[in-house]
């Protein structure tokens, strides 16, 4: 069974971009982007539907659990996007220290090009739902764990002991999160670049 397709898509089929994507996917993507920029409480379901060019009925058809269920799906989508970027950065260099620097450069570029609005896809939602929406918090925790594993594997490949790699990977993700937050608030890529330099220096002390 194929993923949900737009049954009666009134828009012309020749148009590219989101039009070729199923309704459910468009809703998830719009939700992920809005949650990333405005957080959970700042984002309304009607706004998500409008951005996704879907109707409220479709949203509740695909996500009968309402806003929370949609938010969980959006967080998972953001997790994948962020993981893709991490993978790309980590693959840029054999040396783990240089690879982490590549990650910070990627993040800095993305952030600047979005005028400092597109930071970590889960941070805003995570912070304002902590302790009040267990499903969402769990999805955020899984995202962080997944990202940490990506970094940890790279550090292991670089020759670090597994225990060391795991702890250092956790600290790396924490630092990237904080540096991205700081960069957004200060509207500068310097915090991300500084984080990259210092993470590289730190990793080298273990090599």
Partner DNA sequence: TACCGGATAGAGCGTTCGCTCTAGTTGTGC
Partner DNA sequence: GCACAACTAGAGCGAACGCTCTATCCGGTA
User: Would you give the binding string for its own copies spanning residues 56-95, x where CB under 8 A is met?
Assistant: ----------------------------------------
Q: How far is the CB of 62 from its own copies (least distance, A)?
A: 24
Question: Per CB under 7 A, which of residues 10..69 are in contact with DNA?
Answer: 10, 23, 43-47, 54-58, 60-62, 64, 66-68
156-164 LR contacts (CB < 8 Å, sep 24+): 157/96, 158/94, 158/95, 158/96, 158/97, 158/203, 158/207, 159/207, 160/96, 160/206, 160/207, 164/206
C-alpha–C-alpha distance, residues 148 and 171, integer Å:
9
Stretch that binds its own copies, among 21-29, 63-71, 153-161, 190-198 (CB under 8 A): 190-198
User: Would you give the binding string for DNA spanning residues 61-80, x where CB under 7 A is met?
Assistant: xx-x-xxx------------
Contact 88, 150 (CB under 8 A): no
Q: Which residue's structure tokens are 């990793």?
A: 203
Applying CB under 7 A, the residues found at the interface with DNA are: 1-2, 4-8, 10, 23, 43-47, 54-58, 60-62, 64, 66-68
């Amino acid at each position: 069974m194929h993923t949900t397709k737009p049954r009666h898509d009134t828009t012309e089929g020749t148009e590219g971009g989101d039009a070729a994507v199923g309704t459910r996917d468009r809703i998830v993507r719009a939700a992920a982007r809005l949650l990333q920029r405005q957080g959970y409480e700042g984002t309304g379901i009607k706004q998500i539907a409008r951005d996704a060019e879907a109707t409220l009925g479709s949203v509740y058809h695909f996500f009968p659990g309402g806003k929370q269920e949609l938010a969980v799906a959006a967080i998972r989508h953001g997790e994948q996007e962020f993981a893709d970027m991490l993978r790309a950065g980590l693959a840029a260099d054999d040396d783990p220290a240089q690879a982490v620097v590549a990650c910070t450069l990627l993040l800095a570029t993305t952030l600047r090009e979005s005028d400092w609005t597109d930071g970590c896809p889960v941070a805003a939602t995570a912070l304002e739902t902590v302790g009040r929406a267990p499903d969402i918090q769990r999805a955020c925790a899984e995202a962080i764990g997944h990202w940490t594993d990506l970094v940890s594997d790279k550090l292991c490949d670089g020759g670090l002991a597994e225990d060391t790699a795991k702890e250092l990977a956790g600290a790396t993700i924490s630092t990237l999160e904080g540096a991205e937050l700081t960069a957004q608030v200060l509207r500068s890529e310097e915090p991300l670049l500084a984080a990259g330099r210092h993470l590289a220096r730190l990793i080298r002390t273990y090599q």
